[in-house]
Amino acid sequence: MQIVKLDATDSTNAYLKRMLSSNTLDDFTVVVAKSQTSGRGQRNAKWISEPGKNLTVSVLKKINALPLPQQFYLSMLVSLAVLDTLKKLQVPDLHIKWPNDILSGNSKICGILIENVLSGRHIRASVIGVGLNVNQTSFVNLPNATSLKLLLGRSLDLDEVLHVFLENLRPLFLQLDGVQRPALRKRYLQHLFKKDQPATFQIEGGRVMGFIRDISPDGKLILEMEGALRREFGLKEIKLLY
C-alpha cells in the first residue's frame, strides 16, 4: 500500500485523480493531506476543515467491472467502514444519514465523496474521499457538526485513526461479490438514520412528512408518504430536515 502524505493540496480526491491520469497506480494507493484548499462534499458543498486537525484522505480502489447501476454498493461499503472505525474508537450513537454522512446522535462527524472511473457502463476504479472530524472543536456556521475530540474528550493521533480506517475498509471490498451484497445492504439499512421514524423532508414544492422505508437498487431514497404512497428520490431531489 502506497501512502502519499501532503502538507496541503486543493483536495485529496483531485490530487489522486491527477496521479491516476498520469501514472499507473497500485490498488489501494492512499493520499492524505494536512490541509485542503478546495475540499468538497456531497451536493457540491465545500468541506471546510481546520488544517492539521482532521483526517482528509482519498483511497484508490480498482474494481473488476462493477455495473454502473450497482454503484451504491460502494457508498454502503465505505459508510460501513467509517462506522466500524468509529465503533472501534468507542464513538457513541452512530448512524448513516443517507446517502453516506456519518452521524453521532444528530451531529455530523464524517462526510464521504466517491468519484468513479468508468469503462463503458462499468466502474473500473473508484476514488474514495473521506473527511473525518478528529481534533477540531470549533465549527463556524455548522451547528450540526461534531468531532472525535468533542465526543470522546481527548485528542487522537491522525495516523492511528487512518490506520484503523484502512484496516476496516480493505476487507469490506470482498463483499462487493454478488453473494455477499445482501448482507452489506442489510447492515447499511440497520444503521440508516431515521429509518421507519417520522421525519420532515424538503422536496420540490415544499416540506413533507414521511418515513424512510428502503433504498432502491440504484441508491435512491424510498419514502412512504401520506396515504401509504411510496416515492423514490435522488440526491438532488430531497433533503432531510433535522
> Are 75 and 96 in contact, with CB atoms under 8 Å apart?
no
Would the pTM of this model clear 0.85, i.e. be above it?
A: yes
pLDDT of residue 41: 57
Distance CA 28, CA 19 (A): 13
The H or E element containing residue 15 is helix 12-22
Q: What is the mean pLDDT of residues 120-126?
A: 94
* Banded pLDDT at 188 (limits 50, 70, 90): very high
Which tens digit of pLDDT belongs to each residue from 50-91? 899 999 999 999 998 899 999 999 999 999 999 999 999 999
- Examine the pLDDT at 43 and tell me if it is beyond 70: no
Q: How far is CA 79 from the centre of its chain?
A: 5
Phi, psi of 174 (to 5 degrees): -65, -25
